[in-house]
Amino acid sequence: MMFNFVLFSLLFLPSLCSQEQTYIVQVQLKSKPVVFLGVEAWYKSMLPPPMFKKNPIRHVLKHVMHGYIATLTQQQVQFVGNLTEVIGVHPNEVHQLHTTHTPTFLELISSEGKEGTLSEVGEYGSEVVVGVLDTGIWPERASFSDEGMGPIPSHWKGECMEGAAFTRDVCNKKLIGARHFQLTYDPTQIVDYNSARDSQGHGTHTASTVAGLRVSNASIYGYAEGVASGIAPRARLAIYKVCWVDMDCKSADIVAAFDQAVEDGVDIISYSIGTGVAGYHLNPVAIAQFGAMKHGVFVSTSAGNNGPALNSVFNIPPWVMTVGSGTIDRKFPAEIILANGYVLTGESIYSGPPLPTTTFFPLIHVHESMDTQVLEGKIVVFEGRNISAQRGVELRNVGAVGMVIVVVVNDKDQGGGSLVHDVHVLPTVILTASTAAQSIFSYLASSKEPHGTIVSLGTKLNVKPAPIVASFSSRGPNRESNSIIKPDLIAPGVNILAAWPDEVGPSIFLTGSDQRKTEFNILTGTSMSCPHVSGVAALLKGAHPDWSPSRIKSSMMTTAYVVDNEGKSFVDGFKYEVATPWAYGSGHVNPEKALDPGLVYDMTVEDYIDFLCASQYNEQQISQITHTTITSCKKGQPWDLNYPSISVSLNRRSNEVYVTRTVTQVSEAVSKYTVNIENPTGVLVTVAPTNLAFGRKEEKQSYVVKISAKKIKGKSKTVFGRISWEDGQHVVSMPIANRV
Angle between helices 605-614 and 619-626 (to 10 degrees): 150
67, β-bridge pairs: 26, 61
Strands 343-347 and 460-461: unpaired
Cα dihedral 704, 705, 706, 711, rounded to 10, equals: -170
Say which of 59, 202, 281, 627 is annotated catalytic.
Answer: 202
Cα torsion angle, 467, 385, 450, 459, sign: positive
202 is catalytic: yes
Kindly report the CA angle at 558 between 555 and 559, in degrees rounded to 5? 80
Secondary structure (DSSP) of 238-304: EEEE-EETTTEEEHHHHHHHHHHHHHHT-SEEEE-B----S-GGG-HHHHHHHHHHHTT-EEEEE--
134 is catalytic: yes
522, β-bridge pairs: 497
Cβ proximity of 426 and 395 under 8 Å = yes
646, β-bridge pairs: 736
Contacts of 489 (CB under 8 A, 6+ apart): 321, 323, 324, 533, 556, 557, 560, 584, 585, 586, 587, 588, 589
Angle between helices 526-543 and 202-211 (to 10 degrees): 30
295 is catalytic: no
Say which of 134, 198, 267, 727 is annotated catalytic.
Answer: 134
Rounded to whole angstroms, the Cα distance separating 331 from 354 reads 19
Secondary structure class of 112 (helix, strand, coil): coil
Rounded to whole angstroms, the Cα distance separating 420 from 230 reads 21
Instruction: Tell which residue, 400, 403, 414, has the closest CA to residue 381.
Output: 403
User: Measured between alpha carbons, how far apart are the two ends of the chain, in Å?
Assistant: 65
Q: What share of the chain is helix, strand, coil (3-state, %, to 5)?
A: 25, 30, 45
Cβ proximity of 703 and 688 under 8 Å = yes
**Ordered strands of the 94-95 beta sheet:** 94-95, 248-250, 243-244
Secondary structure class of 571 (helix, strand, coil): strand
Rounded to whole angstroms, the Cα distance separating 399 from 392 reads 10
Say which of 527, 534, 554, 647 is annotated catalytic.
Answer: 527
Q: Count of alpha carbons within 13 Å of 176, Cβ hemisphere only?
A: 27
Instruction: Tell which residue, 413, 417, 419, has the closest CA to residue 468.
Output: 417
List, by residue number, the catalytic residues. Answer: 134, 202, 527
